[in-house]
Amino acid sequence: MRPAAALLPCLLLVASCRSVAVTPAALREPAGRDAQRAESLARWRESVDLMNAFLASPWRRTLPAGRFTLDDAGLAYATDAGCTRPIAVLSTTWGDLVVAAGFRAQEDAEGFVVGEVEPREGEAPDPLLDNTFFRFTDGDWHSAHSLAELTLHETTHVVYRHGTVGAWGTLAYYVVAAFTFSGVDHPSEDRPRATSEEYGWFRAALGSPEEYRHVIEGVRDAHLAAEREHCEHGPFPEPECP
């Protein structure tokens, strides 16, 4: 059974029993793995700096102009038009099912959910760290770039309300997924996928000498000029603030 089809019956059967909010305030609480918590929080803050640099760059096209903030309560995305949306990160039981189906995270109305990861041998379990926001399923740590790309992707879902955002959006998402037997080319992923591509170009440009940036720009321009079935780049009118 493909991932999207596997998730459909779970959606009908599972209520979120575990819900752990991943926040800077919680990560600063002593819990035995304090050094890893501090390192993870530092990578998270670095990812916010990367996202804001991307948003201020010409590589951003799909998300509305804005800026992320990270305070004790967590992430928020404030657009230049004056709308601020929370982008909560929650490790939940539903997130476990999402991960079991082959995904890393799934959007909701106020952010996204992730699932648990088994700690490495010798590590005491820590739900704030042992989840797919911070770690791969094999226990390796995501980089700041990986945190940034995921957050930008899921924020695009939240801003445009494409995907499992709200009850009707969730139902519609899984109805389409059930009939297509896939979440990979789901139309609700077109704008989030575009943001991920834009961040990929931005990341490549960051790591390239100035004299080679035109090559990456050429790749971007050729991509934007071509007809693409499964990505939808902006700019778009900003939706009304919820």
- Return d(Cα 24, Cα 58) in angstroms, integer: 30
The overall pTM is greater than 0.85: yes
Structure token digits, residue 180: 């297509």
Q: How many CA atoms lie within 13 A of 208 on its CB side?
A: 14
DSSP 11-78: HHH-----EEE--HHHHTS--S-HHHHHHHHHHHHHHHHHHHHHHTSTT--SSPSEEEEEETTEEEEE
pLDDT class of 192 with cuts at 50, 70, 90: very high
Say if residue 119 is preceded by a cis peptide, omega within 30 of 0.
no
In a domain, 236, yes or no: no
What is the pLDDT at residue 162?
72
Asked if the structure places residue 59 within a domain, the reply is yes
- Identify whether 241 is part of a domain: no
In a domain, 237, yes or no: no
Q: How many domains does the chain have?
A: 1
Handedness of CA 41, 45, 46, 47 (dihedral sign): positive
Residue 46 in domain: yes
Domain span including residue 62: 3-225
Query: 168 with 155: CB under 8 angstroms?
Result: no
Domain-located, residue 239 = no
Residue 202, Cβ density class (10 Å: 0-12 exposed, 13-18 middle, ≥19 buried):
buried
Q: Could you tell me what percent of the chain has a pLDDT over 70?
A: 83
At residue 172, the pLDDT reads: 53
The per-residue pLDDT for range 150-184, each reduced to its tens digit, is: 999 999 999 998 755 655 555 556 545 555 545 55
Classify residue 238: in a domain, yes or no: no
Tokens standing for residue 200: 């990929």
Residue 98 resides in a domain:
yes
